[in-house]
Chains A and B, each alone.
Chain A
Amino acid sequence: ETGVTQTPRHLVMGMTNKKSLKCEQHLGHNAMYWYKQSAKKPLELMFVYNFKEQTENNSVPSRFSPECPNSSHLFLHLHTLQPEDSALYLCASSQDGKGGGRIVFFGPGTRLTVL
């Protein structure tokens, strides 16, 4: 595997379910991100992790819970979601600091549908 991978690619869940999205980056980066992309809204940054520490949480509802166990893996735990949470969830990573070039690399996304 290369780049940024995400599983599952598609997920359908009921409002009472608990599920998790997984992201893995194979680029040796030190920062990881979750973005939400809805059909009629711009890309929304949800969470930022630098060196496994959460540095940004953009007023995301508590039904979304991130976890970053190490610099290569990022999870998004979902529980009691609402239909309006249906969207494409993108994971991304970057190498911040010297030599990183400030480029952010994206995964293919998880298409989430909440029934």
Chain B
Amino acid sequence: AQTVTQSQPEMSVQEAETVTLSCTYDTSESDYYLFWYKQPPSRQMILVIRQEAYKQQNATENRFSVNFQKAAKSFSLKISDSQLGDAAMYFCAYRTISGNTPLVFGKGTRLSVIA
């Protein structure tokens, strides 16, 4: 079975600085999707970024980028120029490339942004 591990329950970052959230996963599949979701306090969970495992190039969405290391099964999220609105729970998630399988989530990392 696939598993996702986020080893940092809480992180903090100064406004305008850069922070990296860690995620590792375990799978025997060769192709799959990886995601980072953001859940602000009392607000809806939204997709931040998605990576397809067969693509070697790291995904980027504005200030958010990933460092995808397939051999190491590592998928970290880098947030550059952190803003107060980035404060949230961040969940790393895995999903197979096809089939009726749901998302597999990590336990989440709570990110605080200090003004």
Known: A42-B107, A43-B105, A109-B44. A50 touches B100 (CB 8 A): yes
Known: A42-B106, A42-B108, A43-B91. A106 touches B46 (CB 8 A): yes
Number of interface residues of B (CB under 8 A): 23
State whether the Cβ of B47 lies closer than 8 Å to any Cβ in chain A.
Answer: yes
State whether the Cβ of A31 lies closer than 8 Å to any Cβ in chain B.
Answer: yes
CA distance A21 to B24 in the complex (A): 34
Say yes or no: A103 contacts B47, CB within 8 Å: yes
CA distance A107 to B43 in the complex (A): 9
State whether the Cβ of B16 lies closer than 8 Å to any Cβ in chain A.
Answer: no
CA distance A83 to B2 in the complex (A): 31
* Chain B, Cβ-Cβ closest to A43: B105
State whether the Cβ of B114 lies closer than 8 Å to any Cβ in chain A.
Answer: no
CA distance A56 to B103 in the complex (A): 12
Cβ of B59 to closest chain A Cβ, rounded Å? 12
State whether the Cβ of A96 lies closer than 8 Å to any Cβ in chain B.
Answer: yes
B-chain residues with CB within 8 Å of residue A107 when the two chains form the complex: 44
Say yes or no: A106 contacts B50, CB within 8 Å: no
Within residues 41 to 80 of chain B, which ones have a CB less than 8 A from any CB in chain A?
43-47, 50
Of A56, A101, A105, A109, which is within 8 A of B102 by CB?
A56
24 contacts between A and B (CB under 8 A): A33-B102, A42-B106, A42-B108, A43-B91, A43-B105, A45-B103, A48-B102, A90-B45, A96-B99, A101-B33, A101-B50, A102-B95, A102-B96, A102-B97, A103-B35, A103-B47, A103-B50, A104-B93, A104-B95, A105-B47, A106-B44, A106-B45, A106-B46, A108-B44
Which residues of A come within 8 Å of B, CB atoms? 31, 33, 42-43, 45, 48, 50, 55-56, 90, 96, 101-109
> 4 other contacts beyond A43-B105, A104-B103, with CB at 8 A cut-off?
A42-B108, A96-B99, A104-B93, A106-B37
